[in-house]
Amino acid sequence: MFKFTSSEIRDLIIAFIVISLCFAIANAGRDTNAILSILPIVMVGVGAGFILHELGHKYVSMKYGYWAEFKLWPQGLIFALVTSFFGFVFAAPGAVYTYANYMTDEINGKISIAGPVVNIILALVFLAIATAVYKSAFTSETSLLIFAICSVGYSINSFLAVFNLLPIGNLDGSKVLTWNFGIWIVTIAIAGILTFMSMTIGVENIVRMILGF
């Protein structure tokens, strides 16, 4: 069973709002109207991606009997906000801290990989939904909105997966790599391909390829 402290819930909400704003700025530039219009769409992708990523870490930690709690990193939020004005987001608003006297590399690796795997799954789910509604998006505003939300959700979640799997500093990738090189290389390759396709081909063209257009 998940248990949350009041400070943890506060930190998750603050991080969610600020990171959503960062991705909106990165995609819309400094146009306030454009930022406000895209923000609700971005919040769905970021909300699912960020919150469930952290809950993935928390779930696996608690499954092994450890107490785990998300804590905000204010400097990371500020840095994310600054980088967003340059067209990208260094998304490190905080992390789930697992409290344990001792932890093997295997358990640490499994806890760490849970978040990126959640993002990969979400990216594929968003892509599947986008594919399902694509044809009707030409005649239905509702379907068009769903397609837009899912396109952003796919792009953001694939990016969050590959970013967190980088073997840098305290990111998830460093712990997964220490645990199992094979699992790390396969996971970051999948996330990298999804992200590369999003950034080069674009979600609509990916969907059209899937549908055989």
C-alpha 207/C-alpha 131 separation (Å) is 5
Question: What is the DSSP pairing of strand 94-99 with strand 67-72?
Answer: antiparallel
pLDDT (average), residues 110-139:
96
Rounded-to-5 percentages of helix, strand, coil across the chain: 75, 5, 20
| pLDDT, position 181 | 97
C-alpha 196/C-alpha 161 separation (Å) is 12
Q: What percent of the chain has pLDDT over 90?
A: 62
The answer to whether residue 213 scores a pLDDT higher than 90 is: no
Ramachandran angles phi, psi of 99, nearest 5°: -100, 115
pLDDT (average), residues 171-193:
96
How buried is residue 61: exposed, middle or buried, by Cβ count under 10 Å (0-12/13-18/19+)?
buried
Q: What percent of the chain has pLDDT over 70?
A: 100
Distances (CA, A) of 203 to 115, 130, 153, 196: 23, 9, 10, 11
How buried is residue 164: exposed, middle or buried, by Cβ count under 10 Å (0-12/13-18/19+)?
buried
Rg (CA), the chain: 17
Q: Letter for the amino acid at 18? A: V
Query: 3-state class of 139 per DSSP?
Result: coil
| Residue tagged active-site, from 8, 54, 69, 204 | 54
Please write the tens of the pLDDT for every residue from 193-207: 999 999 999 999 999
Distances (CA, A) of 25 to 19, 72, 89, 113, 181: 10, 21, 9, 28, 35
The answer to whether residue 191 scores a pLDDT higher than 90 is: yes
Residue pair 190/162 in contact (Cβ under 8 Å)? The answer is: no
Please write the tens of the pLDDT for every residue from 136-164: 999 999 999 999 999 999 998 999 999 99
C-alpha 159/C-alpha 119 separation (Å) is 9
| pLDDT, position 87 | 82
The answer to whether residue 1 scores a pLDDT higher than 70 is: no
Q: Is 8 a catalytic residue?
A: no
The answer to whether residue 2 scores a pLDDT higher than 80 is: no
> How sure is the predictor about 3, in pLDDT bands with cuts at 50, 70 and 90?
confident
* pTM for the predicted model, two decimal places: 0.89
Full DSSP string of 45-71: HHIIIIIHHHHHHHHHHHHTT-EEEEE
Q: Letter for the amino acid at 164? A: N
| pLDDT, position 86 | 85
Range of 9-23, 76-90, 171-185 with top mean pLDDT: 171-185
Q: Which residue has the higher pLDDT, 93 or 123?
A: 123
Task: Give the mean pLDDT of the chain.
Answer: 91
Please write the tens of the pLDDT for every residue from 47-95: 888 889 999 999 999 999 999 999 998 898 889 889 898 888 877 788 8
